[in-house]
Chain A
């Protein structure tokens, strides 16, 4: 590997070091002093800023033996000019549930990465994985061997189950309605084969959120969002509500008036909630966490079909199962998931996400194939109900004729 000591001139990138915020340029420059890949990365990036065009090429055959995911090929289109980033592949490492690491574990990864890669990482990628940025094809197998020897594994990329990810859940949050960490770990173990060997029409993402605050933004990103929810009444400590009011919270205007379903009233003494109107928006609980808590009968709502705008526009997920108990061994959830995968595998086109397939065939067909009864909670948008079925009406009409 070429290792010139001469500093790269980067007048355009230097602009991005100014100001108070941490700068990625500053970090790459620190690494450039000791790693030639980081040095050429700076050079190529400066070139891209000058030319106003990317100099990366993407995709290909790179990977480790037997795995179809976890490595994303990246090549420079100017290898003569920047030989040290001629290959600059990305590696996804399957992160632990909730992104909990010991400092020792992080050092282990960094040691391997400084030896075999650019030394630059991304904590974390939007998939949730721990991302290692920039290595060459001949380093992939040694990196994989060293990481797996220490108990790590690659994450997902391509037409696979992408690395399941979750919020910190009950490990750090009082609102968690189910154990997101355990479910994430369980699904990761149960579906190793589809995580590493592409078998789907396109990508599939699970994201687990412990409560409707949805800290992992599953509703916007996951093909299946598993969002913690409660079935019974919000737990209210009236004394604590009065304490909030006494300390200056205007319960009427800050809590009741901002409730989207107007299910709350405050008479200056007691907060009353019509729980059957509550749509679990979490506003009141977030505003008065010492006074209000999710109910005691907890589980998760299963939503389906979110995606970012890649082939078609962005889509949010919508409710498929309003409430499911979320306890090991998660049989009900796994049965549902596998039924959906079968349907998708059978009818999905190449590069078609499940949300797009549902849009194409219609929610009615999808529910029928899954043998799920339509429910009022399955609304894609407020004040719309696209899942009203008139079949019986038509049958009756046909019979009369």
Chain B
């Protein structure tokens, strides 16, 4: 019988953070890329679009992840010092 209990929110957040951290500098990840990857990892029975959305929201609100912007398009990133940002 399939285990239908969802992925714990903490675990989901950790996985999302890990994914964004690993892809830093390689890919501009969007919420959709992260959601698809998590559903693929945990399976549709255990991980939904809604739970991914909630996990991303919590990570953004806590400041652990931030939204980046370039050319009218957004991505999710680990906070870092901007290459463009001048030294103070």
Chain A contacts to B: CB under 8 angstroms: 57-63, 65-69, 71-73, 75-76, 79, 86-87, 137, 157-160, 197-203, 310, 345, 350-351
Residue of B with least CB distance to A159: B74
Q: Name the interface residues of B40-88: CB closer than 8 Å to any CB of A.
A: 53, 57, 60-61, 63, 66-77, 79-80, 82, 84-86
Contact of A59 among B63, B68, B80 (CB under 8 A): B68
Residue of B with least CB distance to A342: B49
Contact of A87 among B31, B75, B85 (CB under 8 A): B85
- Whether B85 lies near A158 (C-beta < 8 A) is no
- Whether A59 lies near B86 (C-beta < 8 A) is no
Q: Interface code B9-28, partner A: CB below 8 Å = 1, 0 otherwise?
A: 00000000000000000001
Cβ–Cβ < 8 Å partners of A67 in chain B: 67
Contact of B86 among A58, A87, A201 (CB under 8 A): A87
- Whether A73 lies near B69 (C-beta < 8 A) is yes
A69 to B60 alpha-carbon distance, docked (Å): 13
- Whether B77 lies near A79 (C-beta < 8 A) is no
Closest 7 pairs (CB-CB, A-B): A158-B74, A68-B67, A59-B70, A198-B74, A79-B86, A159-B74, A86-B86
Cβ–Cβ < 8 Å partners of B66 in chain A: 61, 63
- Whether B30 lies near A159 (C-beta < 8 A) is yes
A65 to B62 alpha-carbon distance, docked (Å): 8
Q: How many residues of B contact A (CB 8 A)?
A: 28
- What's the nearest-Cβ distance from chain B to residue A364, in Å? 24
Cβ–Cβ < 8 Å partners of A66 in chain B: 60-61
Residue of A with least CB distance to B81: A61
Residue of B with least CB distance to A138: B88
A203 to B42 alpha-carbon distance, docked (Å): 29
A202 to B75 alpha-carbon distance, docked (Å): 10
Chain B contacts to A: CB under 8 angstroms: 28, 30-33, 53, 57, 60-61, 63, 66-77, 79-80, 82, 84-86
- Whether B28 lies near A65 (C-beta < 8 A) is no
Interface SS of chain A: loop
- Whether B69 lies near A59 (C-beta < 8 A) is yes
Cβ–Cβ < 8 Å partners of A198 in chain B: 30-31, 67, 74-76
A215 to B48 alpha-carbon distance, docked (Å): 42
Residue of A with least CB distance to B53: A199
- Whether A158 lies near B72 (C-beta < 8 A) is yes
Cβ–Cβ < 8 Å partners of A350 in chain B: 28, 30, 33, 73
- Whether B73 lies near A68 (C-beta < 8 A) is no
- Whether B30 lies near A201 (C-beta < 8 A) is yes
- Whether B74 lies near A68 (C-beta < 8 A) is yes
A57 to B84 alpha-carbon distance, docked (Å): 7
29 intermolecular pairs with C-beta atoms under 8 Å apart: A57-B84, A59-B70, A60-B69, A60-B85, A61-B66, A62-B69, A66-B61, A67-B67, A69-B74, A73-B82, A73-B84, A86-B86, A87-B86, A137-B85, A158-B69, A158-B73, A159-B74, A160-B74, A197-B57, A197-B67, A198-B30, A198-B31, A198-B67, A199-B53, A201-B30, A202-B72, A350-B30, A350-B73, A351-B73
